Amino acid sequence: MRPKAIDLFAGPGGLSLGLIRAGFNIIAAVERDADAGETYRHNIGNHTEIEDITKFKPKALRKILEEKEVLKPGEKISLVAGGPPCPGFSLIGRSKISDLIKKENEGQKDEDKKREWRHRFIDDPRNKLFEEFVRYVLEFKPDYFIMENVSGMSSYQIDEDPIVEVIKKKFRGYIVNQKILCASDFGVPQERKRIIFIGHRKGAKPCDFPAPTQRKPLNAMAAIHDLSQVKDTKVGGGLVKVSASNNRSGKRYRQLMREWRVPNPERTHKTTDVFLTSHWTRGVNARDEVLFPHIKSGSGRYPRFGSSGNIRIKKSNRTIYGDLYPKQWDSFLKPLFEDHGFITEFTDGRHYVSIPDTDKKWVMYKSKKEGFQDKMRRIRWDKPSPTIVAHLAKDGYMFIHPWLDRTITVREAARFQSFPDQFQFQGSMASQFRQVGNAVPPLLAETLGRAVLDALSTRDE
């Protein structure tokens, strides 16, 4: 019999997908976002409660599970897992709050005032959602729990107390350890670092953190080589047929992505048909058609690529947006745009480019004062993808395709996260990008799940 588990802040189901593959029976999941909840139901099962966890209390979930006879009254479970969002603990969040503190305290040395700002930050409800996770753990009393969060949390302090230690003390009756893991060490083609908390109930066997399973990280080309050979669609529900890639690098990973079946028994689409959904991305506007070819990853020449032979790319240094604008506006960009038929102008301290006799006009982002130095950045083909983030819901400029002059598609982002090709995302393009960026990579979740199962299988020995 498979050990029972609950997934909190479940998102589209990346954590559940990996835990199921490891050997767990997910009896319930809680997710606030309606699109993510529908994605979960579509791919994994109807045991998702689409609820605001701050209002949907653990006793309410227990009552539902007992009424469904999934749990007996008072029954414990083996695992509670989840990734409560704490945006303020990301590296961006910490830099923002530090800047606020600095600005608020310019010209004064009042430590009490600084402390007040730090506490106002930590008291932000978005940064205390982990307490809802704690409440569920204390209600269901699992043998183990897994909690995932941004690695930036590990360097944050409230006065002299590390926030990590504050969190660990909340889990009464549990011994908790934490470690920063990188997804690329566990078969995920992405440099995604996350802090993982693993707790075991006092008296249970400790659970060891898993050792890396990937000797050499998979690079971006290995992950999406076959996807780049088919045209992205204009609508996310469109099916795209993909042929197997003959590139040897990453062949086993791509095969796993093509053959991994989703758990929902009601799904009839077969992975062996190799049809994909969500292979869509935003169109490239006329300004960016000029800029993208000059944004370089620094990877250099591509190796042999597909049946069509070599793609010849001259070796070049890494070039991001800030290297081009404003540094090279007069010497390079302005003449380049004008050669492409654009009108260039300078108004109100900003440079604009426009197409004659139309209303199409684009601003050039300031790269220093406004913090857009890396506004546009190309993914290296020869390294794992950078961390896939929820900001893709707004734009994909920091995720320009490794060798095509467009931003990555939802399906390519999903491949970088290790979601199988049969996994179908629901909602708009922006919603799908957000779901992918917020998810726990399924292959990392599987490895963590196997570590807990190893502890469960030996706890009575």
Q: What is d(CA 53, CA 130) in angstroms, rounded to the nearest whole number?
A: 11
Residue 24: exposure state from Cβ atoms within 10 A (0-12, 13-18, ≥19) = buried
As given in the structure block, the two tokens for residue 269 are: 């689409």
Q: Is the pLDDT of residue 461 over 70?
A: no
Cα 423-428-433 angle, rounded to 5 deg: 60
CATH class name, domain 220-438: alpha beta
Distance of CA 398 to the CA centre of its chain: 14
Alpha helices in 143-273 (DSSP H): 163-170, 220-224, 251-259
* Window from 51-60, 108-117, 150-159, 260-269 with minimum mean pLDDT: 108-117
Q: Which residues of 279-288 are buried (b: 16+ CB within 10 A; e: fewer)?
A: bbbbebebbb
Please tell me the total number of residues recorded for the chain in this structure: 461
Contacts of 9 (CB under 8 A, 6+ apart): 30, 31, 32, 53, 82, 83, 84, 85, 129, 133
Q: How confident is the model at residue 419 (pLDDT cuts 50, 70, 90)?
A: very high
* Upper half-sphere CA count for residue 431 (Cβ side, 13 Å): 15
* Window from 11-15, 303-307, 353-357, 450-454 with minimum mean pLDDT: 303-307
Neighbours of 453 (CB within 10 A): 20
* Domain range 4-88+125-215+440-457, CATH architecture: 3-Layer(aba) Sandwich (3.40)
412 touches 257 (CB < 8 A):
no
Per-residue pLDDT, 96: 46
pLDDT top residue among 54 and 102: 54
Q: Is the pLDDT of residue 87 over 90?
A: no
User: Taking Cα atoms as reference points, which of 7, 4, 5, 8 lies closest to residue 53?
Assistant: 8
pLDDT digits (tens, 9 = 90+) for 431-451: 999 999 999 999 999 999 999
Residues 96-109: what's their mean pLDDT? 48
Q: What is d(CA 116, CA 192) in angstroms, rounded to the nearest whole number?
A: 32
Percent of the chain with pLDDT over 70: 83
Q: Is the pLDDT of residue 7 over 50?
A: yes
pLDDT digits (tens, 9 = 90+) for 148-197: 998 877 766 666 778 899 899 999 999 999 999 999 999 999 999 999 99
380 conformational bin, left if phi > 0, alpha if psi -120 to 50, beta if neither: beta
Q: Could you give phi then psi for residue 55, rounded to 5 degrees?
A: -110, -25
Residue 417: exposure state from Cβ atoms within 10 A (0-12, 13-18, ≥19) = buried
Q: Is the pLDDT of residue 103 over 80?
A: no
Per-residue pLDDT, 420: 96
Please list the residue range(s) of the chain that carry CATH number 3.90.120.
Answer: 220-438
Per-residue pLDDT, 268: 56
* Window from 44-53, 274-283, 412-421 with minimum mean pLDDT: 274-283
Q: What is d(CA 116, CA 93) in angstroms, rounded to the nearest whole number?
A: 17
Q: How confident is the model at residue 291 (pLDDT cuts 50, 70, 90)?
A: very high
Per-residue pLDDT, 306: 47
Q: Is the pLDDT of residue 326 over 70?
A: yes
Per-residue pLDDT, 117: 47
pLDDT top residue among 60 and 103: 60
Q: What is d(CA 43, CA 262) in angstroms, rounded to the nearest whole number?
A: 6
Task: Give me the torsion for CA of 363, 369, 374, 376, rounded to 10°.
Answer: 0
Q: What is d(CA 375, CA 287) in angstroms, rounded to the nearest whole number?
A: 14
pLDDT digits (tens, 9 = 90+) for 396-409: 999 999 999 999 99
Q: How confident is the model at residue 307 (pLDDT cuts 50, 70, 90)?
A: very low
In order, the DSSP letters of 78-140 are: SEEEE----GGGSHHHHHHHHHHHHHHTTT---HHHHHHHHHHHHTSGGGGTHHHHHHHHHHH
Q: What is d(CA 411, CA 236) in angstroms, rounded to the nearest whole number?
A: 9
Q: Is the pLDDT of residue 369 over 60?
A: no
Q: What is d(CA 437, CA 393) in angstroms, rounded to the nearest whole number?
A: 9
In order, the DSSP letters of 127-161 are: GGTHHHHHHHHHHH--SEEEEEEEGGGGG-EETTE
Per-residue pLDDT, 147: 97
As annotated, the active-site residues are: 86
Q: What is the pTM of this model?
A: 0.90
